[in-house]
Amino acid sequence: MAPMSDGGAGPTARVPSGGRHARAQDLIERRAGGEELGEYDRRILDAHMAACSDCREWEATVVGGQEEPARATVGDVEAATPSETGGQSHIGSDKDAMGQDKRRQVVGQSWGPSKARQLLYYGLAVAVVIAIYIGGKIAIDQLDKAPAHNADQAPWSQPNAPQTPPQRFQ
């Protein structure tokens, strides 16, 4: 590789190195790939490109010199694909990614849980709901009692206190 130039005199074939250059090159490649850069990245790249002639040359020779690949047309695709009548058709492989037969037998001869296992799961779920209900009922009955040690202190609860019947609403 040719050494880098001093101050940008003459074309260089060497890629500038260093943290700021690497970041600028990454941003240049992302922009050339069609990615829209954010405001911060765009400002960093513009500032670096204004100050660094090596990266400007690198952009012009490396990124600017790349040709965009030709786009496929319907005619190209149809010409490359063999027809059913004129050539071979692609059937595909009988092996999966692990190298095993794609059409191998399923363990247990079923894709899902059996009826017995489904009933077991539903039964367990119902049992848990019932246990939660019974436990809650017992806890509420135990915790929702008036204390036995509170004495009656209201004037109408004393022995021989006059009792007035309640009056009807008007």
pLDDT tens, residue by residue, 36-48? 888 888 888 888 8
Residue 28 lies in a domain: yes
- The token pair that represents 44 in the structure block: 């960093």
Q: Please, which pLDDT band fits residue 140 given cuts at 50, 70 and 90?
A: very high
Last-in-domain residue among 28, 44, 63: 63
Q: Please, which pLDDT band fits residue 87 given cuts at 50, 70 and 90?
A: low
pTM value?
Answer: 0.31
Q: What does the alpha-carbon distance between residue 153 and residue 161 come to, in Å, rounded to a whole number?
A: 12
- Which residues lie closer than 8 Å to 16 by C-beta, 6 or more apart? 4, 25, 52, 54, 55, 58
Domain count, the chain: 2
Instruction: With a cut of 50, say whether residue 105 has pLDDT above it.
Output: yes
Q: Please, which pLDDT band fits residue 113 given cuts at 50, 70 and 90?
A: confident
Residue 93 lies in a domain: no
Last-in-domain residue among 29, 48, 63: 63
Q: Which residue has the higher pLDDT, 69 or 3?
A: 69
- The residue-averaged pLDDT of 21-47 equals 85
Q: What is the pLDDT of residue 101?
A: 80
Domain that holds residue 59: 19-63
- The token pair that represents 167 in the structure block: 């009056």
Residue 36 lies in a domain: yes
Instruction: With a cut of 70, say whether residue 137 has pLDDT above it.
Output: yes
* CB neighbour class for 32 (10 Å; exposed up to 12, middle 13-18, buried from 19): middle
Helix, coil or strand: residue 104 = coil
Q: Please, which pLDDT band fits residue 159 given cuts at 50, 70 and 90?
A: confident
Residue 50 lies in a domain: yes
Q: What is the pLDDT of residue 89?
A: 57
Residue 87 lies in a domain: no
- The residue-averaged pLDDT of 107-126 equals 85
Residue 135 lies in a domain: yes
Residue 139 lies in a domain: yes
- The residue-averaged pLDDT of 18-31 equals 84
Q: What does the alpha-carbon distance between residue 165 and residue 104 come to, in Å, rounded to a whole number?
A: 87
Residue 74 lies in a domain: no
